[in-house]
């Protein structure tokens, strides 16, 4: 069977369209990491800091992520922006966890590499784990900025800090 050049070219074009867009995307120019204090008290708010690094960090004007905690161990309150002029999104809470963020921030106005402080209120003694999932970072015109990292959990010893209060399960 002889194939024409046109049919081979069409097959290659279809194969290229089937490749995942993420496989063809340029590497991220933005890296997200989390830090938190080592200890906290029950009932006191704790800030989990969201750090950004890379050449696109100064372009960020908005942020949204789902902050996960076990409902028995704590409640996510809000994400306090570190950018001037930013407006807080109302936290969409579900069982301790919440979708938090802000919009309308002035890019490059944060005094350090911290773009947001995710506030969590511990409810019980133990080691509370906090993780961010599905982060979305945007520039001033609403273009999504691809970010790497940020999904590692941070652990905070609450009170005695002995039992581990595990993360909520995501299905």
pLDDT tens-digit profile of 35-77? 999 999 999 999 999 999 999 999 999 999 999 999 899 999 9
pLDDT of residue 27: 61
User: Sign of dihedral through CA atoms 83, 84, 86, 87?
Assistant: positive
| CATH level 3 topology of 27-165 | Immunoglobulin-like (2.60.40)
pTM higher than 0.85 for the full model?
Answer: no
Does residue 9 surpass a pLDDT of 90?
Answer: no
Mean pLDDT computed over every residue of the chain: 81
pLDDT of residue 91: 82
Domain range annotation of the chain? 27-165
User: Sign of dihedral through CA atoms 17, 23, 26, 30?
Assistant: positive
Place 28 in a pLDDT band, splitting at 50, 70 and 90.
low
Which secondary structure element, helix H or strand E, spans residue 16, and what is its range?
Answer: helix 5-18
């Amino acid at each position: 069977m002889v194939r024409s050049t046109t049919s081979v070219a069409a097959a290659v074009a279809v194969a290229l369209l089937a490749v995942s867009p993420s496989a063809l995307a340029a590497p991220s120019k933005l890296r997200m990491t989390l830090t938190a204090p080592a200890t906290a008290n029950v009932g006191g708010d704790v800030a989990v800091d969201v750090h950004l690094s890379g050449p696109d960090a100064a372009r960020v004007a908005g942020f949204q992520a789902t902050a996960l905690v076990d409902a028995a161990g704590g409640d996510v309150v809000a994400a306090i922006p570190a950018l001037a002029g930013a407006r807080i999104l109302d936290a969409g809470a579900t069982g301790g966890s919440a979708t938090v963020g802000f919009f309308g921030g002035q890019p490059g106005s944060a005094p350090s590499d911290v773009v947001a402080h995710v506030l969590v209120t511990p409810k019980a003694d133990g080691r509370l784990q906090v993780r961010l999932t599905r982060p979305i970072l945007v520039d001033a015109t609403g273009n999504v900025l691809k970010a790497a990292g940020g999904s590692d959990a941070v652990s905070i010893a609450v009170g005695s800090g002995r039992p581990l209060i595990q993360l909520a399960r995501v299905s």
